[in-house]
Amino acid sequence: MLELLFLLLPIAAAYGWFYGRNSLRREELKGKAHVAKNLSSGLNFLLTDQEDKAIEQLLQLLDIEAATIDTYLALANLFRRRGDWDKAIRIHEKLHHLKLPKTQAQQIQLELANDYFSAGLYDRAEKLLTELVQAEQLREKTLKLLFTLFIATHEWHKAVSFSHDVDKTDSKSLRIAIANMRCLDQQKPLDAFSLRLLSQQYPQAIRPKFELAQMLLKQQLPEEAAVAFKAVLQQKPQWAAEILPGLAQCQLPSAEWYQLLSQLAHKNKNITATIFLADWLVQTGSPAAGEQLLLEKLQQKPNIRLFQRLLQLRQITEPEHRAALHSVEQLVNAYLETKILFSCRNCGFKTRQTYWLCPSCQQWETVEPLSGIDGR
């Protein structure tokens, strides 16, 4: 009898294990059915435009099923795109309080900061973003959103404090942004020495070089100003329309000035440089050569501004037709006064004045002089 009892023990243990396993499986299936029921109910609320009830129903599932985080993130982002920031915030705040893996928790924190920024809660957004800057995988995205926030509040001095974090990234746009915001920081105005250092630290940006050149010109240091102006031209020849008037005041040697204008006019096909070169030829006693240059460029590629300057030259060389030519010039001038001068290469924003920061897409140094038939 005792031997029989020992034989029955393994069978009893196996039965207990089997029954317990089935019990756990039943509980798991029951839980999943509850989740599915609540999820279905939440979706029905969404479909019937009862969004508040839908959010309450779906948020209840977070405590039961944290594996569906991506679904909630997608839903919150949908609300944010629609402008329902309060709903997005509620979802992201609920997710933010869950115990999740570090990477996932940081991503949710970034999304919540984005919600706060979109809703105008800048202080809350700044606090979350400042904490996230040290997260290597999200550093670039965090800094871009943080800088967008500082642009909205004009707190340039706060942006400057993140210079070292910008240097840890490979982002060209962030480097250009920090250079521009340092130029705007009134708490620490930049002198010529500081602008030189800033130009060397962030060579991608042209604003420090441009402001350095203007400052040196005002300080009556034309040779040093010319170096800064030429550095901008070398980097951005399309900016010749903005640079050449200042560079002309630096009184470069005649041969150097001619060589610079020739390169910009012929190699870079710059309109303003062509006009300056034609004027130089006229001033050095070769009006016919200046007129011929304009004619050749117009034949290669029509441009209204080259035609305008040709009309002005013809009034000098053909005084008998001055009245008629002047009338045509006035019509051309009226036409050009209506034309845009700058366009953002990033978003296409068009304007007649220059901006270091595009008013449309909020990108730095993307608004550039236009080319083409009306370009400069």
pLDDT surpasses 90 at 43: no
Provide, rounded to the nearest whole percent, the portion of the chain with pLDDT above 90.
64
**Class of CATH domain 339-376:** mainly beta
Give long-range contacts, CB 8 A cutoff, 24+ apart: 275-281.
275/305, 275/306, 275/309, 276/244, 276/248, 278/309, 278/313, 279/309
- Three-state DSSP class for residue 339: coil
Please tell me the predicted confidence (pLDDT) of residue 229: 97
Please tell me the predicted confidence (pLDDT) of residue 131: 94
pTM for this entry: 0.78
Can you read off the two tokens belonging to residue 289?
Answer: 């050569």
Please tell me the predicted confidence (pLDDT) of residue 61: 56
The model's pLDDT over 258-288, given as tens digits with 9 standing for 90+, comes to: 999 999 999 999 999 999 999 999 999 888 9
Please tell me the predicted confidence (pLDDT) of residue 53: 61
> At 343, phi and psi to the nearest 5?
-145, 145
207-216, 267-276, 318-327, range with the lowest pLDDT: 318-327
Q: What does the domain layout of the chain look like in residue ranges?
A: 253-337, 339-376
Query: Of 371, 346, 354, which is closest to residue 268 (Cα–Cα)?
Result: 371
Please tell me the predicted confidence (pLDDT) of residue 44: 56
Could you report how far apart the first and last alpha carbons of the chain are, in Å?
109
